[in-house]
């Protein structure tokens, strides 16, 4: 949505154009369903507390691009953002919400205004409950992620998004510590979610919630 009023100035506009671009897309990550490598940013913030983090607005992406460019130069696919106040709690990834399979439960950051209320996140939380998993929408610390991967409490991590669909995470790097998950393979739950969600989209699985609209 862009302002179209013929005015120069800093103010909310009175006229807008809302438009939707539709186009075919390839897999979001070059490796397809190969697990992605994620750099945890402890230096930069995507959004401040009290800011526009839950809105899909250009400014949020502008403030994320420097860190993601640096991460990309170092061979990472994306940046994982921590909360901007304590830089301790996991929030979301550059273009995906993030979920963890922790102690057998699906844990994801709560919606407190700083992360996008992703439609794929909602669909995935619905599906995992149907599969019988307990869901915890709670603040997970980066230390829990690191420890959990080492002691086996964290078994899978995956991002969710319209473009990313369900993307397995194979590595987090935080302050020069590498945490590896899944021996280079996507986890079982991650694959089941990917197959179910794309199956619903392609009409191969039952669409119990009427998520698909036929035009």
Ligand X SMILES: Cc1ncc(COP(=O)(O)O)c(C=O)c1O
Residues lying near ligand X in the complex (CB under 6 A) are found at 92, 95-97, 116, 118-121, 160-162
**Closest approach of Cβ 47 to ligand X, in Å?**
9
- The residue behind tokens 């919630």 is 209
Complex with ligand X: residue 97 or 190, whichever CB lies closer: 97
Beta bridge partners of 141: 89
**Closest approach of Cβ 166 to ligand X, in Å?**
10
**Closest approach of Cβ 78 to ligand X, in Å?**
10
Complex with ligand X: residue 151 or 213, whichever CB lies closer: 213
Q: Which residue is nearest to ligand X (CB)?
A: 118
**Closest approach of Cβ 210 to ligand X, in Å?**
18
Q: Nearest CA to 63 among 92, 90, 24, 94?
A: 94
**For residue 207, how many other CB atoms are within 10 A of its CB?**
12
CA distance 98 to 80: 9
First to last CA, the chain: 23
131: Cβ contacts below 8 Å, ≥ 6 apart: 189, 192
Angle, helices 188-201 vs 119-130, to 10°: value is 110
CA distance 61 to 155: 30
Complex with ligand X: residue 95 or 173, whichever CB lies closer: 95
Q: With contact defined as beta carbons under 8 Å apart, do 187 and 156 qualify?
A: yes
Complex with ligand X: residue 65 or 119, whichever CB lies closer: 119
Complex with ligand X: residue 96 or 181, whichever CB lies closer: 96
**Closest approach of Cβ 92 to ligand X, in Å?**
5
């Amino acid at each position: 949505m862009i302002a179209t009023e013929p005015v120069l100035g800093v103010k909310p506009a009175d006229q807008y154009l809302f438009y939707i671009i539709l186009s075919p897309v390839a897999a979001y990550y070059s490796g397809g369903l190969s697990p992605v490598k994620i750099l945890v940013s402890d230096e930069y913030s995507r959004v401040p507390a009290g800011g526009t983090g839950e809105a899909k607005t250009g400014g949020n992406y502008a403030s994320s691009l420097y860190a993601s460019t640096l991460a990309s130069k170092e061979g990472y696919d994306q940046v994982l953002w921590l909360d901007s106040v304590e830089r301790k709690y996991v929030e979301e990834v550059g273009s995906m919400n993030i979920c963890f399979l922790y102690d057998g439960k699906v844990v994801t950051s709560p919606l407190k205004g700083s992360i996008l209320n992703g439609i794929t996140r909602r669909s995935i939380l619905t599906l995992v409950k149907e599969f019988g998993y307990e869901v915890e929408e709670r603040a997970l610390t980066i230390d829990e992620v690191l420890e959990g991967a080492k002691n086996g409490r964290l078994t899978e991590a995956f991002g969710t998004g319209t473009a990313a669909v369900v993307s397995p995470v194979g590595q987090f790097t935080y302050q020069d510590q590498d945490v590896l998950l899944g021996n280079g393979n996507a986890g079982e739950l991650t694959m089941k979610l990917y197959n179910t969600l794309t199956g619903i989209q392609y009409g191969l699985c039952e669409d119990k919630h009427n998520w698909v609209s036929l035009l």
